[in-house]
Amino acid sequence: ENTTLRDAWLASRFNLGDGDALLADMEAAAQADPTDVLPTVLGPLVRWHTASSENAANAALDTLPAALTALGGDPAFNTLEAAAFLLGMDLPRPALELLQTAEKAGIFQDAGPYPLYCMAYCRTRLSARVGEDARALLLTAAAGTNPAAPKPQHPHGAQALALMRWAVEFNPNDANAHYLLGLTLAGLHRASEAVPCWERAAAINPGHGLAWRLLGLHRWKKDGNLEGAEIAYRNALAALPNDQMVLRDLTEVLTKQGRRAEALALAEALPEDSFRRYDLALWQAKAYLDEGRNDDCVAFLRESRFSNWEGVTTPRDIFVGALMARGKQRFEAGLHAEALADFEEALTYPENLGVGQRYKRTDAETCLWAGKALQALGRVEEARAIWTEGAGQITLADPPQVFVTVTTEQDEAVGLCRAALEALR
């Protein structure tokens, strides 16, 4: 069954005033597809529409918040989806009642300004002029609501473009309206029209971090303008100092300009007790390694926790890389015991890095250097044992194994382990 057609059929019957029969069909639709928002929403709205008294109408609307929450997911998103559909069916009155009921129930508490624009737009669809209630909603959306709310809602539905254009026309100095109009246009793959909207939002409100972030992203990815992207991202970070997506993007832009050390300083400025995003933490660890700051890399990864996609070994790969680099430096400096400690740690699989040992080992280089350190310390039999481990590992000459990559470095290290064993005979 086509859900869109069914919902349109139900909404049309609602518009025509179909009562008890419609309720029965909506209940059947809700049972058949419990995740479909419209049948769940229309039931209370039908009872509201056909109520014989104000008390009965209010009682019907009072059931809406619980119904929206019971759908699962984000109640604010569910509400806006249903309201967008009703607006698309030219039903602004029930859309407004739905939105107002959700607002009173606190469903839009963390949703940002978009629901306010929706309510104001519904009011104007019911009147030839912008009334005081709609005007108040628009002014609140422009000045009193943070667009970077915890769960910001973005424009929904076929009416979103007309809605946000109307909001911009009503108040051309509303930075939030320009920002959301830009999002709407970008969602329609009209990025060239979206960018001026974000530029206007940032010009009206230089502290509009979300507009600056999108400008930075466009200048970086679309225009290839790293200098312009840096300016935009720095403005975004000044407005949103705890936004790690902005910080991550800025570190990458700076790195592409050959300023990785400067980017690292920005990442290090985050509070030590803050939970870092996976991608930002990986970037910081890799940057330490690439900058030759092996002590910092090892210390950072010892304290960080990763949850990886299946098959991803990057956190441990960086950890091993830093330990091996530091171990070789210590070995060359004659610090054989300290070098051995690094090589032995490189053979471990720390739980916090979220990487387990594969069924075929490919750490022959680590075995090779651990054996060298053991031999330098006079522990020859232990060196023999670790070289034996390395010598028995998979090489390029062996049949390919699933999920096991054999590099030329691994192949050479296996050969060197075998040569080291021969030298002991």
Look at residues 89, 15, 5, 84 and name the one whose alpha carbon lies nearest to residue 45.
Answer: 15
Is residue 315 assigned to a domain?
yes
Is residue 93 assigned to a domain?
no
| In a shared domain, residues 336 and 350 | yes
The length of the chain in residues reads: 425
| In a shared domain, residues 371 and 417 | yes
| In a shared domain, residues 341 and 371 | no
- Domain final residue pick, 357, 373, 392: 357
Q: Please, what is the average pLDDT of the chain?
A: 90
Is residue 253 assigned to a domain?
no
Is residue 308 assigned to a domain?
yes
Higher pLDDT pick, 188 / 134: 188
| In a shared domain, residues 389 and 339 | no
CB contact at 8 A, 45 and 102: no
Q: Residue 398 sits in which domain range?
A: 358-425
At residue 146, the pLDDT reads 58
| In a shared domain, residues 368 and 386 | yes
Letter string b/e over residues 348-381, b meaning 16 or more CB atoms within 10 A of that residue's CB: eebeebbbeebeebbbbbbbbbbbbbbbeeebee
At residue 152, the pLDDT reads 81
DSSP code of residue 291:
T
Total number of domains constituting the chain: 2
- State the average pLDDT over residues 87-116: 88
| In a shared domain, residues 347 and 387 | no
Q: pLDDT category, 135, cuts 50, 70, 90?
A: confident
Query: How far from 368 is each of 108, 328, 341, 410, 420, CA to CA, in Å?
Result: 61, 11, 14, 10, 8
| pTM of this structure | 0.83
The pLDDT tens digits for 383-412 are 999 999 999 999 999 999 998 999 999 999
Alpha helices, H only, 188-277: 191-204, 209-217, 226-239, 244-256, 260-268
DSSP letters, 78-134, are: HHHHHHHHHHHTT-HHHHHHHHHHHHHTTTTTTS-SHHHHHHHHHHHHTSSS--HHH
Percent of the chain at pLDDT > 70 equals: 96
| In a shared domain, residues 340 and 366 | no
Is residue 306 assigned to a domain?
yes
Q: pLDDT category, 332, cuts 50, 70, 90?
A: very high
| In a shared domain, residues 377 and 410 | yes
CB contact at 8 A, 373 and 343: yes
| In a shared domain, residues 337 and 363 | no
| In a shared domain, residues 304 and 349 | yes
- State the average pLDDT over residues 170-176: 92
Residue 79: other Cβ atoms inside 10 A: 30
The pLDDT tens digits for 357-374 are 999 999 999 999 999 999
| In a shared domain, residues 407 and 352 | no
281: which residues sit within 8 A by CB, 6+ positions away? 304, 306
- Domain final residue pick, 357, 381, 407: 357
How many angstroms separate the CA atoms of 37 and 285, rounded? 44
- State the average pLDDT over residues 4-32: 80
| In a shared domain, residues 396 and 422 | yes
Is residue 173 assigned to a domain?
no
Is 132 a residue whose pLDDT tops 90? Answer: no
- Domain final residue pick, 357, 373, 394: 357
Is residue 343 assigned to a domain?
yes
The pLDDT tens digits for 20-73 are 778 888 888 888 888 888 888 878 888 887 777 888 888 888 888 888 888 888
Q: Which residue has the tokens 């030590």?
A: 272
